[in-house]
Structure 1
Amino acid sequence: MDSPPELAFGQLLIGGISFMLLSGALLVMFIVVYQKRLLQQQLLLRAAEAEYQRQLLAAVIEAQERERERIGRDLHDGIGSTLATAKLLMGRLESTGAQEEASNLSSMVKEILGNAVHDVRGLSHSLYPAVLDRFGLADALQHLADVCNETSTLDVELSIDYPQPLALPQELALYRICQELIHNAQKHAQGATLLQVRLRQHGTRLSLSVEDDGCGFDATALESTRAASGGAGLRSIEVRVQMLRARLSQQSAPGQGTCTLIEMDTAA
């Protein structure tokens, strides 16, 4: 028979082996459960990324369709009606026999056609700013400000410190953001007399701000309005901000104007 010390050692050994086996089983179960949860999280993350890409694509398509609609409206209501008027005047010019009337009609036709040429150039620039492709973002923004000052009652004041130009796709995105913000201010900033546009670059940090002195708005009311209307204009801006991996912030209050700021790290 085994002596009591030997029995105690055997029981201790069996207990230690049982504990190790139980610990190993628990460890295996923990690893299996952890991997299962990790897989579920990865699947949820992929689903969220896929949904985000779907929403991003939908916003881009919506912005494109909205731009096509605007271009079609400008062609029909603006340039189309202008050319139709010129055609009618040309018909009157052919049928008139009075020298003075013919001279007046000729002057009117030239003026109308000149306006049509101006409208076509403006529409062409909105489709793709050739100045941006040839001379860069700074000159393109200057040209945009000049055009706005000529065609709108809202004065645009431009300030640029941009020593290191970015790649063309990034510059085009920044230009479109600025263009949309200026359009929004002209449309919604009631009572505004001045629109300040600032482009600043310090090292790898770049900021673009557009600030007006108009009526401003209540941020809570704006969110509910965007939820109801879709806010296609601002969503188009947000899409481009995301493409640039930038940050967008907006400050406003009733009667205190609106300031929109885009900040990005050009080294990212």
Structure 2
Amino acid sequence: WATQVDATLPGRPQRDPLYLYAGLAELSWTISVSDAIIENPLLPWPWWGMLAIVLASFWVISMTLFSLEVAGWRMLSLGRWLGRWLALELAASVVVAVAALVYGHPLALTLLYGASVVTSMIFAFFFIWKAARGALLPHKMVAAAMLLNTLVGVRDLYVFRLSQGYGGNTYLRYSSVLFGLTLGYIVIQRFRIASGQARDLNANLAARVAQKEQELEQSYQRVEQLAREQERTAERSRILRDMHDGVGSHISSAIRQLESGRASQLDVLQTLRDSLDQLKLSIDAMNLPPGDITALLANLRYRLEPRFVATDIALQWDVDLLAPLARLDGKAMRHLQFMVFEALSNVLQHAHASVLRIELHATPQGGAQLRVIDNGCGFDPDRVPRKGLSSLQERASAIGARLQVSSAAGGTVVEISLD
């Protein structure tokens, strides 16, 4: 009873009372019939006799309630009224036991048994009538046992309470065995059905879990595929944007130089070289390790060092091997690459320098400090066009870096601090 929960009842799930009534009936019947075989009762007289009377009534009541559950009548008005009457009968059995054995009124016991027999006969009539009209097998089995025990109970009532003779033996203690066997069969069958339903439920649940896992796996695959497509789309957009901002800008400048007629062939060639370098660097940026500034500078050196050599600019390389900065993702690395490229391109085009020094060192805060230093002619930041410096400042802000540009007649220093 404690482990069998009936989820089919209205309201919240409840324990199936059929198992409780079966257990109480068998327990009360066992103790009540043990009076015939126990020579030294556990309780003194008249308490032992009173206990036997109450338990006999309790057995009849428990079996009636058990039959009520088998028929499915508990929720009907008949079941509710019968339950109240049986509760009254149980309370009366205590009073009758005291009156009969303590105060010497055996007639009270006869009236109690008579009321119990009448109640059982009326209930048995309706129960057997329902079973005869096509009830289930458990209902019919209980009806047969109930008919036999009711007839035997009437016989015992007559022999022991109404007849003037003495002696005889009660048959009810033997016929009740049939009730016990029927009860045990029904309980076992119900338990088997409940266990089968639990197994089916577990199997169904396992199948549903497997189905949901498969659906979830498919969903993850779709999400992963969508993420890869979005990543490819974002990468294509980045390449197009870099080509527009870098290569496209340099090609547009070269076209304007040619259209104006004032630019020299060397200036146009320099602009086209910048465009080609920018294109190569945009492609290289696709394979840059995130946060690895040392690799970024090494790639720039590989691409631009031939141009430094061609223009007689000595390159001084003071770059430490730093651990990658976790906060610099692919987008931030591209911003940083553009900033350094712009600084180096300005040295090639405008500085007229003979020495270019690139420094990269770690900061005490765990960041990095990058410096591009030349010994060129320098410039006045207040007098040159602000577009280039503004672009560098915007990119520095985008990656959370500090940009400082200082220039004088002896050279220029572009410092990028990443804390």
For normalisation by structure 1, the TM-score amounts to 0.49
Q: Greater share of strand residues, 1 or 2? A: 1
TM-score normalised over the length of structure 2: 0.32
